[in-house]
Structure 1
Amino acid sequence: MNMIDRIRRHRMISRQNRAIERAMQSAPTQAMRDEIAVIAQRRWTN
């Protein structure tokens, strides 16, 4: 992986992490937050 690809991957991961964090903060119920957490965790294990 070259430097440009690493930078793009880092930016993409950062953007996804911010989106997950926003979704967690705006989720109206704990059940929705739990579901978001499960989805986010699956993203890293696949």
Structure 2
Amino acid sequence: MSTTVSMINRIRTRRLINRQNRAIDRAWLSAPSQAMRDEIAIFAQRQIR
């Protein structure tokens, strides 16, 4: 039972990380200035992955 729960948790975590990465990519691509891209890059580096 615990291995199934562990596997499900890993899948959920991976899906959440992928979703966050896509959101960061969209924000970076739509940023109006280089300064905003730099801020997004700093934010992305501080995320727990």
The two structures have a TM-score, normalised by structure 1, of 0.90
Unaligned 5+ runs, structure 1: none
Q: Give runs of ≥4 in structure 1 deviating > 4 Å.
A: none
Relative contact order, higher structure (CA 8 A, sep 6+): 2
Q: Which has the larger radius of gyration?
A: 2
Percent identical among aligned pairs is 64
Aligned partner of residue 38 in structure 1, secondary structure? helix
Flag structure 2 segments of 5+ consecutive residues without an equivalent. Answer: none
Aligned to 1:20: 24
RMSD: 1.6
